[in-house]
Structure 1
Amino acid sequence: MFVLELTYTVPLDRIDARLPDHVAWLDRHYADGTFLASGRKVPRDGGIVLAVGEDRAAIEALVRTDPFAVEGLATYTVTEFLATVVAPVLEPHRQQLPG
């Protein structure tokens, strides 16, 4: 599982101008099952996405397609973790420790 942290690099008016494209990108990846949750950070200097994927390289390639990233409006930090304990609704995404 992955935590994707966006950090805006431009003023919010530029973010808001491209927000519909970013939301459409989010919607596509909710539809394909990659994204599980997302939202704005407080204070509003970026956002967080909880994602699942094949591997880190695939997720890093995916975040590079976000219109915010393509246009240099935000940077991403990708944190991978093993979701070994989950709420019942996330049971399909529970992971095992290696070994």
Structure 2
Amino acid sequence: MPEMRFRIRWPDRTESLCYSPSLVIKDYFQPGHSYPLHEFVKLSRDALEIASERVRQKYGYTCSSAMSQLAEIEAKASQFLESNNPQVTVTEFIE
């Protein structure tokens, strides 16, 4: 199963390198595009849950790395909930 990483820039200009066990991330995000924080978190949740399910279908267990990545995204995003119009930018895909 092809895995990938994707780099994002948070509203405070810090960056994170994120992991997905599947290329499904490409169906949800576009490099160079900014997303409202709530939309980015929702799309991340949808994509990483699908990726984890693909691992379960192939190997018989869900992907704990995908769920850990989602937890990290949600935790970091919570820091910006009170910000005015917070945006997250997907800067690149790394395969």
TM-score band by shorter chain is 0.3 to 0.5
Structure with more of its chain in helix, by fraction: 2
- Scaled by the length of structure 1, the TM-score of the pair is 0.31
- Scaled by the length of structure 2, the TM-score of the pair is 0.32
Larger Rg: 1
